[in-house]
Structure 1
Amino acid sequence: MSRLVDAYFALLKALIALLLAAMVVLVFGNVVLRYGFNSGITLSEEVSRWMFVWLTFLGAIVALREHGHLGVDSLVRRLPLWGKKLCFVVSYALMLYAIILLLVGSWQQSLINWDVVAPASGLSVALFYGVGLVFAISTIPILLGGLYRVLSGRASEAELVAIRESEEEDVDEIQRRHLAEREGFDGVALGRRAGGVS
């Protein structure tokens, strides 16, 4: 099951990269055609806008799984264990509620706009609203899994702070490496002095 989930998220990352590349080609190509050849790609603006919306939602799915969303954890880190658990459960319950609202709204908008076609591309506008369905169906299991781990007592205290501060972790790691290298260098220098090597 874990391999299947990892494969799904690898597919999402590949789709994000493809959408980004296609957006660059469409927008840049349209600019070159307009200013260089006084023509353009008719569906460029509409399709690139839709791609941007899909790219944003797919990126949000990946970020939720990797705890990469922005947040403030200065208060939560200072709370006792039961406070961290309470904040985690309340925040995840609120996110679930918001995503269920998004799921219902996206479903209704997809049904309403199923037969409506976009003016430039001729695609169904339901495709535009369908990203909300993909987002909700992908993120609800992530949130339910996190809630289950906390409520069953399987989550560590570090997992209760659902924000990963990569910049701080990177700075700490760089400082640790620098100190280790410095201590290693000083140790080598001391060894050489003790051995009479200048």
Structure 2
Amino acid sequence: MRKIKNIVFRFLRLIVTIMLLVLSIVVFAQIISRYFFESPLVWSEELAILMMVWITFLGSVLILDKFEHISVDFLVNQFNERIQSIIFIIGYLLVLMLNIVFVIGGWEVIQTTKDSILPGMKISVGWLYGAIFIGGILSSIVLLEHLYTKLKNLYLNQKAGDNK
């Protein structure tokens, strides 16, 4: 299971890196096109927005897996390990609920906008909102894994304490 996860996350990092590279090239090309040739690229702004949204949601999954999101944990660190675990579990559940809303809402928006077209790129607007849906699914999977690990550790620590 760990091997599959590593492959998926390596692929995600590659995709996000490529998107960031494409975003940089497109923005640079737009600047050159607009200021030197006085002929803006009509599709570049849409592609840049599309890339930023996908980078945000896929990057969020990568950061969530490594526990690298910004957090203020000064107060949490004042408690013992058991209370900290319970606080983290509650936090994971709240973020999981948010991601379920992303999945459901993202799917509904995709269905609503799938027939609308981005005029510069000539693709469905659903591709833009697909990032919310996919990011929500992937983040939910990561959160479920973290929840399982925290609950298992909490249970094992409690069992070890009962055996003393």
Question: Under a length normalisation based on structure 1, what TM-score does the superposition of the two structures give?
Answer: 0.75
RCO comparison, higher one (Cα < 8 Å, 6+): 2
Indicate the residue corresponding to 2:9 in structure 1: 9
Contact 1:109/1:126 (8 A) holds in 2: yes
Greater Cα radius of gyration, structure 1 or 2: 1
Indicate the residue corresponding to 1:19 in structure 2: 19
Identical-pair percentage:
29
Output the CA distance in 2 between the equivalents of 1:44 and 1:155.
52
Deviation (angstroms), 1:77: 1.3
Contact 1:57/1:131 (8 A) holds in 2: yes
Alignment of 1:1-198 (within 5 A): 1-153=1-153
Gaps of at least 5 residues in structure 1 are 158-198
Deviation (angstroms), 1:8: 0.8
Output the CA distance in 1 between the equivalents of 2:146 and 2:34.
49
Alignment deviations for residues 70-104 of structure 1 (CA, whole Å, 9 cap, x no partner): 00111111101221122011101100111111111
Question: Under a length normalisation based on structure 2, what TM-score does the superposition of the two structures give?
Answer: 0.90
Aligned residues: 157
Letter in 1 for 2:79: L
SS in 1 for 2:118: coil
After TM superposition, what 4+ stretches of structure 1 lie above 4 angstroms from structure 2? 154-157
What is the aligned-residue RMSD (CA, Å)?
A: 1.7
Gaps of at least 5 residues in structure 2 are 158-164
